Amino acid sequence: MSPVDRRPANATLILLASLYCAQGLPSGLLAHSLPVLLRQHGVDLALIGLLKLLALPWLLKALWAPWIDRMASRRLGHHRGWILPLQLTVIGILAGLALLGPQWLFGSGLWLLLGLLLLINLAAATQDIATDGLTVRLLPERWRGLGNSLQVGGYKIGMLVSGSGLLLFVDQLGWALSLGLVAGLLVLMTLPIARFDERRRLPFQPALAEPAGPGLLLRHYRGLLLQPGMGLWLAVLLAFKLGDALGSPMIKPMLVDQAWSNAALGQLTLLSSLAGIGGALLGGLLYARLGALRALLLGGLLQAIGIAAMALLVGQGAQVGLVYGVSLFEQIADGLSTVALFAAMMRQCRAEHEGADFTLQASVQLLLAGLVGASSGWLAQQLGFAGLFTWAGLLGLLALPLVLLYFRRYGRQPARVN
């Protein structure tokens, strides 16, 4: 095995796992814990719905991603110079929230809370750009699947800790101690990047970088879009997750209609999330062994089968074993296919353009999937749950010919710097 294909050192894997887990910690708080706590304190549902708007920085981050690639700290290093201050910002905000009582925060201080949560999302989304760029540079092609296993798995673990974990212990430990523990865990997750000597291992290469002046946004993404076969690759990105985006939002409503309780759904969600982490790890290993093309084809096929199999559960909610079997398989397939797709996206990133190139691809992948997902409820009313899941599976299969066509034409061509 050549040195470039050698498995990354354990210290590198720990570094990446810690960074992605750090992103999941505040995300779990926002997505899972706070909606429950706010409602328990009598906050209006319309205001709770505003939490979704706080995720806007994640959707808009492609607008400032090129500057993250261009502007480097001479003292801290390029990506490390962004990650450390941003992660410390999130820690500081969480520590401040822990010191403020929930009675005041969820009452007269609610708008301050929402503003601070928006800052957390802005910092975390920007840190994600730098982290993705660092990941692409640290990992050779063969092991990028493993890197994305750490991304998906670490993020989900972080979300479980601050989502399910916080809800489990907040009544016993109280708001201040529970949130303080989340901030403390984030401090631990910061230690690997604090010890990482990026300036020595990954020196910034200004000759490959564009000047951070007017027009950078257009110049940066124009260079990516002019890569050979990029139009066909964007079609792959748009299509690969459409079936999953169409079917997955209706899984829990289908089970609710079959009298599944909140507790039962919570247990299913927890075990499914763990299965998804396992699928992500499996996806990384398969990517290293099979390569990008076969990993994408296998992941896409299993993903389509998994979402179509949800049609078997319609009217079978009392068959708990069947529900768990299909749900766990679907989550394993989702984790595996996501890792394969993200690793393949890293192949398209140019040197010193890694963060923004990956960010734009991720934004494209989410755009159409989000619109399709928004229509899933209406389509479920028109087609029924069984029809929706069947069509979602067929839609997932339609992406596979695009994958095959792209790799036959352009799969061996590395990204160039324009």
Rounded to whole angstroms, the Cα distance separating 217 from 238 reads 22
pLDDT < 50 stretches in the chain: 1-3, 417
- DSSP secondary structure code for residue 227 in this structure: S
Cβ atoms 51, 177 nearer than 8 A: no
Rounded to whole angstroms, the Cα distance separating 367 from 381 reads 23
Nearest partner of 233 among 114, 395, 156, 347, judged by Cα: 347
> Which residues are CB-contacts of 314 (< 8 A; sequence separation ≥ 6)?
254, 384, 385, 386, 389
Task: Give the pLDDT score at 376.
Answer: 79
- Asked if 3-197 and 217-410 have one fold, the answer is yes
Rounded to whole angstroms, the Cα distance separating 284 from 68 reads 27
Rounded to whole angstroms, the Cα distance separating 56 from 370 reads 13
Rounded to whole angstroms, the Cα distance separating 324 from 334 reads 15
Contacts 24+ apart (CB under 8 A), 413-416: 413/228, 413/229, 414/347, 415/227, 415/347, 415/348, 415/349, 415/350, 415/357, 416/227, 416/228, 416/350
What are the counts of helices (DSSP H) followed by strands (DSSP E) for the chain?
22, 0
Task: Give the pLDDT score at 45.
Answer: 62
Cβ atoms 17, 85 nearer than 8 A: no
Nearest partner of 335 among 403, 404, 287, 393, judged by Cα: 287
Task: Give the pLDDT score at 336.
Answer: 92
The residue length of the chain stands at: 418
CA 207, distance to chain mean position in Å, is: 31
Q: Map out the domains of the chain as residue ranges.
A: 3-197, 217-410
Q: What is the CATH topology of the domain spanning 217-410?
A: Growth Hormone; Chain: A; (1.20.1250)
User: What residue ranges in 128-277 does DSSP mark as E strands?
Assistant: none
Rg (CA), the chain: 21
pTM recorded for the entire structure: 0.77
Does the domain at 3-197 match CATH 1.20.1250.20? Answer given as yes
User: 215-260, pLDDT tens digit by residue?
Assistant: 788 888 888 888 888 889 999 998 998 888 888 878 877 887 887 7
Task: Give the pLDDT score at 333.
Answer: 94
Collapsing DSSP to helix, strand or coil, 317 comes out as: coil
Contacts 24+ apart (CB under 8 A), 91-96: 91/183, 91/186, 91/187, 91/190, 93/119, 93/120, 93/123, 94/26, 94/120, 94/179, 94/182, 94/183, 94/186, 95/180, 95/183
Task: Give the pLDDT score at 1.
Answer: 46
- DSSP secondary structure code for residue 414 in this structure: P
Positive or negative torsion for Cα 47, 49, 55, 57: negative
Give, in order, the Cα–Cα distances in Å from 214 to each of 210, 219, 357. 11, 9, 19
